[in-house]
Structure formats: structure tokens, C-alpha cells
A and B are shown apart, each in its own frame.
Chain A
Amino acid sequence: MSEPEPIKVVDACDLDDELRFLLKPGGMVLDAQKRRHRLPRYFYEIPSREAAMSIRLTQHFGLNEFTLVDLKEEQRLQEFPRYIPCAVRVLAFYLEQFRKDAGGSVHIAVNGGYRSPSHKLSEYATPHMWATAADIYRIGSTILKGKETIEKYNGIAEDSSDDLHVLPYGHVTGLNADDHVHLDLGYITVIPREISEDRMEVPQEKKPRFAFEDRRHVERRSPPVPEEGE
């Protein structure tokens, strides 16, 4: 098997005006409790749909699974190249563990992975804007709805790691979930070791800041053998 292309990491402060406006790298946002959080600045650049499909973050999670959005996301952010905060890799790691404990394939809903600060559901800061949250609508062949099912998988997630936060079953948007399992890791920012941090937040057009992350083993990127029902 040939070595896959490394993933490009960019400083989003160097992106064009429209993308900077939509992604707000390094910007401050308030959560529903009025706490301030600084948005991520370093993103993976996904050049094409094919790349999104082929890049594996873990054995069972591809990058494309975290980028599924609908018309609630800004059109420009649905066009390639697309951008996703580097912390998505940490989320994938935890989801892999959760998948093992849950005993079935984990399906992330549309709008349930990364949501930009310009996404229509991004009224307040949520870990989705850091790519550290996932809304899971199906595990194996089980559609997640109803108190019993959601609480069962919430429990598995909480037992899986103290780092994972879940939303309890209920009907209040943002505080509860009634048609999915919400998992998040809080507001994690990842800066890949390959990129050099620069305090300048103005675009560096002549010398844009980027690097290629190249630290994954080939076998870990290999797509898994599909399971029954996947």
C-alpha cells in the first residue's frame, strides 16, 4: 500500500476574507451561560470530496463523517477546499473507544459533527464549533430515539471516559437530546506539531503559514472492512 498524502494544516488567519469571516479563527464567542471561549485557529484543509472520503482519522472514522452538513451551513463552507479544526482527531479517538464499548457502528448525524460559527445552529458557542462534539443518531441498526435507548448509550459513553460529556434525555434544545446521543469533549484546541505558531493574526499572503501533518501510520488509515448493516 502506498503512503497516503499527508493532511495539510493551515492557519485560518491566512485564508481569504470570506472564509476568515465565516470561520472566525481565534475569535471570541459566548456559550449559553455567557462564558467566553476562543475559537480554533488551525484547521485541516480538505481539498476534495475524494480526499474527505479517503482520509481515515481512526480505524472506523473517516474525516468525511465529521463534515456532513445541510443548508444550515454557509454555502461557501460546503465548497472544497473545506476546513475542519484539527481537534477532530481527538474526537475521533474517543469515538473509536465509544464504538468499541457500544458494540456497534456509530453514525454521526448531518450537522452533528463540525459546525462553523456561521452555521445556523451556532447561536451560542458549542463544542461542535471546535469539532469536538458528535451527535449520533444511529448505533448499529438502532435508531436513537426514546428515553431508554438514549440513556443506555449515554451511560456507555460516560463509562467509556470521564472526558466525555453527554446531554441528558429531554426536549429542551441545547440542554437535552431526544433524537440523538450527544457526546462532546469540551473546548479543545489542537495545534499540530508540524505547524509553527505565529502571534500575528493578520493574513500572511506572501508567506502563508501551513504545514503537512505526517505522523500517521499507513495501516491506521486503511479503510475498515464494512460490517453487516453498514
Chain B
Amino acid sequence: MALKARKAEEKLPVSPANDSVAASEISLYRNVLKIKEEHDLEELGISFWDAQTTIQWSYNADHYFHAASTMKLAVLIGVFREIDRGTLALDSPVHVRNRFTSIVNQETFMLDLASDADPDVYGHLGKTLTVRELAYWMITKSSNLATNLLVDVVTIESIQQALDELEIDGVRVLRGVEDQAAFDAGLNNEVTANGLQKMLRVIADRKAFSQEASDEMLKIMLDQQYRSGIPAGLPKAARVAHKTGNISTVHHDAGIVFLQGREPYVLVILTQFRAETGRGSAVAEVSRDIFNTLAGLTYE
């Protein structure tokens, strides 16, 4: 079953009688618009898919946003493609070095240690961490250094190849992180809510290259340490395998929500706002509304 709210029609529809799903959709749509307005969001993108009910719901889900750190999910996919092909091992050592090459002018750049203080990775400068450790810190603490190291290992081309093989569109990965020359040239990683939802659904379905690879990715994502997005709108018992993304003007979260006694659902919430507005709690509020809607749904 697929329900789709259209962003262009921002007038609230009238509730049809005796139709629980449709009524829930309208209620959800109304709440989402309210959150968007209350938080003064410039853009909001939502994509939802529930394995239990097969309900899909989306809002502005094909709009491209700056990916921020949600691009690290694509890097994770790229890493596990190479592992699945046998060209890389999770235990392979990688030299931890803060020196990267811009995609624009081929000049070298270093990450700002102060703004990405992840001692778990920086503490190993000059030494090695395994691919598994880098993947773990890339996702769970959003380490930019781990991300760029893994991008160097697997290459951007291989990451894009991995997305193509899994038929994931709506995710454009051009570069690693903190490539200022690329940013200045307008070359940024971009995602849509639907693109990330497809990626997470492939993992949730254990079809990301293999069941083993999917399980490994889920295990890492379940250890996410930043929980102010989707998890903040859920009961404490909920387990969420997810990845957040934050820069000065966007706050995203994309995750697979596991609740006891039911199949998981995939939820992607992308928000964009003016820098002076700040990120607020819009993502958590949308997550709560989706959960409440699902909980109150009588589905036949």
C-alpha cells in the first residue's frame, strides 16, 4: 500500500470517513506541515516504509538535500561491496593519516582536528585501524577522518558502483568530507529521502550484497551514539539502526526502527533551515508523529 502526500497541495484535505489508513495519512500530513511551520524549515523531506504493514508514506521525498553525514551510509555500502567481492577484508589495516586530495584541484587538504574531535580515530594518527574499526567510528561517532580514509580505500567510483548495483537512486556521492575546494565549487554529496529509504530498505531486507554483509552493517548502525533525531521520538525500548547528518543548515536522520513484536520500519527525515534558525527538534517530532500514527493505526 502506498500513500503519498504531495508537497504542492499544501491545503489540508478533508478526512474521509471510516478509512483508518487514509485518515491517519491526513492527520500525519497535517502534523508534518505544522512541524515544518513551527520550526521555520526551508525544506522538509520524509520517506517511510513499514515492513509490517507494507505502508509507504512520503513527503517531498524526491527533493535533493545536502547529504551531510548521511553520505557515510553510502560509504558503508561501498565498503561492504568490496568485502563481499573479496577485494577487502574487515580486518585489513589502514594507515590513519590526516591528508587527503581534493577532487577539484588535486591539492592536499587536512581535516580540522578541532571540529571533528574523535579521539578514537585521531588517537591512532601514524598507526593503523582496521577497516571494521574505521567503519564503526564512521557510523557510530560520525568520524570524518574515518570516512575519508575509507573513501580513499574503496574509491568514490566503487561507492557509486555499489549504489548502482543495488539500484539505489537518489544518493549522489562525489567526494569525501571537508573538501573545501569542492564545496566552494558547488560539488556536494546529495540525497533524497526516498534514496536513503531505498538504501536502508535493502539493508533491512538483508539484501545488501549478502545476509552477512547486511547483518554487519546493521550491527554497526545499531550502535549509533547520536540519538537526538529519530530515537528521541520513540519509546526507550525501540532499537534504531541509523545515521544522522548535521551541518549548519541541515539536520537529517535515516534509520531502521525495531520495535518488539513487529517487523521494522524504515524512516528518513531530512530538514533544511537557515543557519540563524538552528536545527531544533523537528526530526524527533516527525519521528514521534510517525510512531504515534503507526501505533494508532487499525489496519485490515
Contacts and interface: CB of A to CB of B under 8 A. Distances in A.
Interface of A: 68-72, 107, 109-112, 137-138, 143, 145, 171, 173, 178-180
Given A178-B99, A179-B99, A137 B93 contact: no
A76 to B, nearest CB: 14
A70 B95 contact: yes
Contacts, number: 47
16 contacts: A70-B95, A70-B128, A71-B153, A107-B126, A110-B128, A111-B95, A112-B126, A137-B126, A138-B125, A138-B126, A143-B125, A143-B126, A171-B108, A179-B99, A179-B110, A180-B126
Nearest to A179: B99
A69 B94 CA distance: 8
The majority secondary structure among interface residues of chain B is loop
B97 A109 contact: yes
Nearest to A108: B126
Given A110-B97, A178-B99, 7 more contacts: A68-B128, A70-B94, A71-B93, A107-B126, A110-B96, A178-B108, A179-B99
Contacts of B96: 110
B107 interface: yes
Interface of B: 88, 92-99, 107-108, 110, 125-128, 131, 153
B98 A70 contact: no
B93 A70 contact: yes
A173 B92 CA distance: 24
A71 B99 contact: no
Nearest to B94: A70
Contacts of B92: 70-71
A72 B99 contact: no
Contacts of B95: 70, 72, 109-111
Nearest to A110: B95
B125 to A, nearest CB: 6
A72 B131 CA distance: 13
A171 B108 CA distance: 6
A71 B97 contact: no
Given A68-B128, A71-B93, A171 B98 contact: no
Contacts of A68: 127-128
